[in-house]
Amino acid sequence: MTRIYLIRHGETEWNQAKRYQGQTDIPLTDKGRDQAHRTAERLADVGASFLISSDLIRARDTAVPIGQRLGLQVIICPLWRERDYGRWEGMTRAEIQGLYPEEWQKSREDPLRTAPGGGETLAELRERAIKALDWVLTEYPGQRGIVVSHGGLLRALLAWIEGRDHPQHTLDNGGISIIQGSNITNLELVSVNDVSHLL
């Protein structure tokens, strides 16, 4: 049985401002770097044998201190990058609702088939997340490891594991969720958004 610790990257300025980041490459704040180090300490004794990160800098810079603390090399995998929000990236919810009201409404009513800002639909994101997870389960059978990724992708993946179309969990920066299973059709959600190490 493979056990995977799913980490949402540390805080960025766009997180603070509640702006859609998507695949725009925004670095961590000082708080985000602190969250990364605290998360590294929290994961020091889990027995991880692999460490995978999205290719975006906010995820990579969260993964590096974890790798240093655990003595693991960071494996970069673009499949774990955040959802593409197209022209919405860099904007707040209020700005999107003001500039693209019909697009916003459609994204609320039919998120699986609507590409926000001309980006990626929820169905496309979920398909990519499943592919990323399947690769990890195939590559590291029976091992424990860590994946550093993004809120949108991880929420979509957790919803799929629970048999739901629409994400419902809140995932904080630096939060840890745990899943385990032997293959992509046999998965269990162990815990969601543990932030006790950040308090």
Q: Which residues are catalytic?
A: 9, 82
Residues 112 and 47: beta-carbon distance below 8 Å? no
Element at 135 (helix H, strand E): helix 122-139
Q: Length of the chain in residues, anyone?
A: 199
**Per-residue buried b or exposed e for 20-45, using 16+ beta carbons within 10 Å of the residue's own CB:** bbbbbebebbebbbbbbbbbbebbee
Q: Where are the beta strands (DSSP E) in the chain?
A: 2-8, 50-53, 74-76, 144-149, 176-183, 186-194
Give the span between the Cα atoms of 181 and 2, in whole angstroms. Answer: 5
Least Cα distance to 177 among 77, 78, 153 occurs for: 153
